[in-house]
Amino acid sequence: MEPLLRVNKKNCTSCYACVRACPVKAIKVENSQSVPFIIFERCIGCGNCHAACSDDAIIIRDSKSDVKKLLKTNKAPIAALVDPSIAGEFPDITDYRKFVAMLRKLGFKYINEVAFGVELVASAYRELVEKSKGKYYLFSNCPISVMYIEKYKPELIRNLAPVIPPALATAKVAREKYGENIRLVYISPLIASKEEAVRLADTEKIDAVLTFLELRQLFREFKIEEKNLEYSEFDDPIGYKGSLFPLSSGILEVAGIDQGILSSKVVTVEGDLVFESIEEFEENITTIKTHFNIFYKEFIMGRGTSPGAKKWLRRSQLIRYMNKRLKTYDDKAHSAYKKKYSGINLHRNFINDDQRLPAPPDEEVNNILKELKMHEENERGCGACGYGSCYDFAVSIAQGLAVPEMCTFYAARNTMNHIQSLKISNEKLAQAQIALKESEQVAQKEKQAAREASDITRTMLHKLPSAVVILDESLKIIQANESFISLLGNEAAEIHDVIPGLTGADLKTLLPYNIHNLFSYVLSNNENITDRDIVVENRHYTISVFVIRKQKIAGAVIRDLSVPAVQKEEIVRRLAEVIDKNLSQVQQIGFILGEGASETERMLNSIIESYKSKR
């Protein structure tokens, strides 16, 4: 089944108002960027989150479609069980009998007051109070309070009055009167009644629960207005003082239980003090020695009613309705019905649904407090996070239910730190931008200087009388000067006209194998070749091939030996080589001769010395 309450992620702005409003912290926030979500198992159905959300992001489980399906089927009659709070919710309907007529127009065959069920339950409470012998009870009419005890104070389940709520008592009456196949819809001022009906399904099934707000929506949807209808009365049995039930102490009035300050055996607690009163009941009941009638909210102000209503105005309308009903009250008929249904079993059981989380280690909590820059002794705190103290907040963070950003001081401090960090970052960024601009200017100047140097180098290259060529590892020309193009002949000159410098041309197609192979050798072995004689087109040249980038780029200088200046230079160079070589050879001959003379002298001296010794 769909959860009673859930968060609509599209509408949620992560303001955490719902988290702060939840009295049992059933709404979890996993990180500061995530949308909170309701932990259904921990929820007690109070609806505070829905009331606190200004973005309409909390969705209540809708029962209208279920009710419309019931009304469309003709398999069984349908009865509406109407909570007495209608008098406060529908002041715009001039007479309650018109309200009953509108329900019949909607499709309900029977319309029964829950006020009669209230009176049955009230009698059970009176008997419980009168017969109790030292045991004190927590009255169990408020589903929110009951679910709180089942989930968060299961030790007190044995103190919950074992009496079904008035709606279920009325349902039992309806089934006994109309038969087991009757379908029942409870019209309630509480959204928690939807969950209560599910939890008590084994005791007495209620097929659907409509809130007053949903009922108004159905009236509008089907265009049902009182001005078009005649009066209609509730079906028997009619209630008496049971209509006072929506007031927190109404059940005591109905039961005839003394409410005097000095003499009453029951104390009534309403509103947020309910949780505190339950704590006190647990700790001090042997001293207090009274039963507790607990209502998280008076039913006339339930979360299933129209928002923004005035409590005391509704209260006055309810009392006015009650007085009006008393004018036509038939005591004899009422007593007969109470006697007829007095044998109905009103006993109920409760669910031990413990949702308490284990307490985290103190060390972990203290570390969180340090991070929050709070102290354990800071018991109260500001309460903005929704927790009673900073310590409780830190415990919830450790339990994974909250995040530090929910603390307004922590968030503000982080925001200021973030702003300061952004300010510093912006200053550094501004400085970096200035430095970058200066670097760009320097780089631009260097780029311009490099371009100018490249242009000069290229110009010089083309003006050199010697042929120069630069090529890559695939022997594709990167750059060649005009002397090299002239060396290759007319065909290369024509290509040069189309592709300046023969860029991209394959050297293997321009020079014979024995020449371009020199380039392959240099690139493969990273070894330069200098002054190698070659012949191209019957002309003699000298070539030097050298490595520019290992195995990637090589260059060559080719000089035409037929040019007089080159011839003179080459002759001088080669004569110098011959002289150097001859001098080297002479030195080697002299060395050899010197070595031979020295050896001869050594041998003759040895013979002489030998001869002398024999004499």
Encode pLDDT of 315-327 as tens digits.
898 888 888 877 8
Domain ranges of the chain: 1-61, 62-340, 359-406, 464-562, 571-600
- The CA–CA distances, whole Å, from 277 to 141, 280, 281, 285 equal 16, 5, 6, 10
237 preceded by a cis bond (ω within 30 of 0): yes
- Taking the C-alpha atoms of residue 471 and residue 545, their distance in angstroms, rounded to an integer, is 11
The helix (H) or strand (E) run that includes residue 536 is strand 529-536
Contact 407, 393 (CB under 8 A): yes
At the top level of CATH, the class of 1-61 is alpha beta
Contact 199, 69 (CB under 8 A): no
pLDDT of residue 434: 87
Per-residue pLDDT tens digits for 193-240:
999 998 887 767 899 999 999 999 999 999 999 888 999 999 999 888
State the number of CA atoms in the 13 A half-sphere of 463 facing the CB.
6
Q: Does 1-61 match 464-562 in CATH topology?
A: no
Nearest to residue 146, comparing CAs of 135, 157, 137? Answer: 157
Q: Fill in the amino acid letter for 486.
A: S
User: Contacts from 214-219 at CB under 8 Å and sequence distance 24+?
Assistant: 214/62, 214/63, 214/64, 214/67, 214/304, 215/187, 216/306, 217/64, 218/64, 218/67, 218/68, 218/106, 219/102, 219/106
pLDDT of residue 412: 67
Contact 48, 12 (CB under 8 A): no
- Taking the C-alpha atoms of residue 48 and residue 19, their distance in angstroms, rounded to an integer, is 9
Q: What SS3 class is residue 494? A: helix
Q: Fill in the amino acid letter for 469.
A: V
Nearest to residue 165, comparing CAs of 98, 81, 39, 238? Answer: 81
pTM, rounded to two decimals: 0.68
Nearest to residue 470, comparing CAs of 499, 504, 500? Answer: 504
**Chain centroid, CA 214 distance in Å:** 32
Q: How far apart are the first and last CA of the chain?
A: 139
pLDDT of residue 595: 57
- The CA–CA distances, whole Å, from 45 to 28, 196, 335, 400, 455 equal 16, 9, 36, 21, 84
- Taking the C-alpha atoms of residue 53 and residue 50, their distance in angstroms, rounded to an integer, is 5
Phi, psi of 380, deg, nearest 5: -90, -50
- Taking the C-alpha atoms of residue 349 and residue 160, their distance in angstroms, rounded to an integer, is 9
- Taking the C-alpha atoms of residue 81 and residue 204, their distance in angstroms, rounded to an integer, is 13
- Taking the C-alpha atoms of residue 51 and residue 40, their distance in angstroms, rounded to an integer, is 17
- Taking the C-alpha atoms of residue 93 and residue 112, their distance in angstroms, rounded to an integer, is 18
Q: Which two tokens stand for residue 143?
A: 């589903």
- Taking the C-alpha atoms of residue 317 and residue 340, their distance in angstroms, rounded to an integer, is 31
DSSP type of residue 295: E
- Taking the C-alpha atoms of residue 53 and residue 211, their distance in angstroms, rounded to an integer, is 19
Contact 391, 362 (CB under 8 A): no
Number of H helices, E strands in the chain: 21, 15
Residues in the chain with pLDDT < 50?
A: 376-377, 586, 590, 593, 614-615
- Taking the C-alpha atoms of residue 565 and residue 568, their distance in angstroms, rounded to an integer, is 5
Strands 183-188 and 78-82: parallel
Q: Domain 464-562 sits in which CATH superfamily?
A: PAS domain (3.30.450.20)
Contact 545, 528 (CB under 8 A): yes
Burial 440-453 (b: 16+ CB within 10 A, else e): eeeeeeeeeeeeee
Q: What SS3 class is residue 531? A: strand
**Chain centroid, CA 196 distance in Å:** 32
Burial 497-520 (b: 16+ CB within 10 A, else e): eeeebbeebebbebbeeebbebbb
- Taking the C-alpha atoms of residue 322 and residue 327, their distance in angstroms, rounded to an integer, is 9
